[in-house]
Amino acid sequence: MRAEDLTPVELRVRDAFSRGERLDLRTGDPEHDDPAASDDWGPERVVRGAALTWLLLDGAVAEPGHVPALRLDGARVDGSLELDYAEIPYRVTMDGCDFRGRVTLYSARTRQFSLKRCRLVRFYAANASVDGTLRVRESRLDGLLKLDGIHITGSLDLAGSRLTHADGPAVSANRLQVDDDVRMSDGFTAEGEVDLRGARVGGVLDLSDARLSHPGREALRAARIHAEGDMICDRLRISGEIGLPGARVEGVVRFWGARLSNPGRRALHGYHLEVGTSLHLNDDCAVEGTIDLSGARVDGRITLRDARISAPDGVALALPHAQAEEVDLRMSRPPQGVVDLRHAVLGVIRDTPRTWPDELRLDGLRYGRFENPLPPRQRVRWLLRDGSGYTPQPFEQLALSYRSFGHDDDARTVSLLKERLRRKTLPRYARVWGAVQDATVGYGYRPMRAGLWLLGLLVFGSVVFGVRHPTRTTRGSTEVFNPVIFTLDHLLPVIGLGQGEAFTPTPGTQWIGYVLTGCGWILATTIVTGVTRSLNRR
């Protein structure tokens, strides 16, 4: 193309370009200037894509004292703007334009490239390099936005844009590298998948007030993404899955007031997600589907304060093998579905009985303490919501938690309740022996019971033998009968006090002596067994 081939309006664009001035072709009527109404625009507002390509690649003649720049508003661009592999040393800023063909920057090198309030059918900038900001803001794109492998030294700004692609992903940005922020906020809408796999973001990934829709599939595909700042998803509305497996966010991940919907499937998939500060799903955050944070590592808190999770007949919250300094489970209502905490490692657990789930999975869970420890019998009811059957580890962990804060009595109560539940899983003969241990010494956790039993039997035997004196077994013996010592001689196995050898019960009370001897052996055996078990737990 030559300068002689330019139309009058294209000559105006060339002159403004040479001086770096803005050329505004709009009429001032918002309805008429809407790019959707560009069919009614006359030739005075139509620029060919080939002419713009020529200007950017070959047609720049800078006027003295000016820096060339393409600053064009309110134009209809007929044909494609094809800048593949180009070196573009100029700033491109276009506002309110309608692109009838593709805009392509494949493997190009350019300065700031800004499209605002425009309408596009395709935008390809894979493997491009942008020295500054790439902006497609408040625009309408009825095709694919392809940014695979692009490197942007500034920020990527897609705020307020609406992207629709019926045949595939709305945004494809594999291996995207942005040195500053990525903004998909302020009403950004994508109907189709937003693919950010392997992206590197030097600042904040902002999805606040965005709308993403890809029902039943991944709406945000961000596996292995690395954000050096925060990931802000406040008031995000999403239909489909947020996929963050292997992602790393060095700041905060925040879903304040968000609405995540993927019924019957995972709404948030954070397998081995790493968060450097905290993960917040609170302030009336509502989730339809599963929050799966299996193996996630959060250096700060995981908070679900006042959240609502609904996954009937499935898992509402999955935290197996997750790690966090603190977890806040004080939701606005009990989650509908299972809460899976198996093998998680948590510092502090904040919860309230009002929002306990109907079913928990707790085997292998380790934690430092509960902010609200509750009386042991009430906290054990929390353990009993584990529907997988009796497992000893959750009881041992709870007892350890009480003991670490000096609540030894509460720890013993938990251990006793654990033994009682365990007894129900044993064969009948073992259940009988367990009931004896429970009644006598509380499995070693209630040793005072043995003293009370011993005292009661001692009083009983002393009264009986005080009324019905036994007969002397050896003539000429000088042993003086004492009913208390005689009873103790029967109750205490192994130890002999002499009364049992010098005297023998009368036929009417002989069976009482046998009962006392048997009870003594039972008490001694249960005390040894219970104390041994108690010491082993320590």
Rounded CA gap, 142 and 226, in Å? Answer: 29
Residue 172: pLDDT band (50, 70, 90) is very high
Segment 212-228, tens digit of pLDDT: 999 999 999 999 999 99
Average pLDDT over residues 180-207: 96
* pLDDT value at 207 more than 80: yes
Segment 308-323, tens digit of pLDDT: 999 998 999 999 999 9
> What angle in degrees, to the nearest 10, is found between the helix axes of 448-467 and 428-441?
80
Average pLDDT over residues 85-103: 95
The reported pLDDT for the residue numbered 526 is: 67
Segment 497-533, tens digit of pLDDT: 666 667 778 777 777 877 777 777 777 776 666 556 5
Which residue carries 């844009």 as its tokens? Answer: 161
Average pLDDT over residues 136-152: 96
Segment 403-456, tens digit of pLDDT: 887 878 888 788 778 877 777 777 877 777 677 666 666 666 666 666 677 777
* pLDDT value at 46 more than 70: yes
Lowest mean pLDDT among 43-52, 395-404, 447-456: 447-456
Name the residue type at position 429. Answer: Y
* pLDDT value at 389 more than 90: no
Mean per-residue pLDDT over the chain, rounded: 88
The reported pLDDT for the residue numbered 499 is: 66
Distances (CA, A) of 198 to 152, 235, 358: 15, 25, 38
Looking at per-residue confidence, does 157 or 505 come out higher? 157
The reported pLDDT for the residue numbered 535 is: 55
The reported pLDDT for the residue numbered 67 is: 87
The stretches of 336-491 forming alpha helices (DSSP H) are 376-383, 393-404, 408-423, 428-441, 448-467, 483-491
The phi and psi torsions of 520 (rounded to 5 degrees) equal -65, -45
Query: Hey, what are 295's tokens?
Result: 């193996």
Q: Are strands 503-504 and 471-472 parallel, antiparallel or unpaired?
A: antiparallel
Residue 210: pLDDT band (50, 70, 90) is very high
Segment 261-305, tens digit of pLDDT: 999 999 999 999 999 999 999 999 999 999 999 999 999 999 999
Average pLDDT over residues 57-83: 88
Average pLDDT over residues 181-209: 96
- pTM, two decimal places: 0.82
Q: What is the dihedral of CA 507, 509, 510, 514, to 10 degrees?
A: 170
Q: Which residues contact 62 (CB under 8 A, 6 or more apart)?
A: 18, 68
Residue 58: pLDDT band (50, 70, 90) is confident
Please give the span between the terminal C-alpha atoms of the chain, in angstroms, as a whole number: 88
Looking at per-residue confidence, does 224 or 60 come out higher? 224
Residue 64: pLDDT band (50, 70, 90) is confident
Average pLDDT over residues 126-131: 97
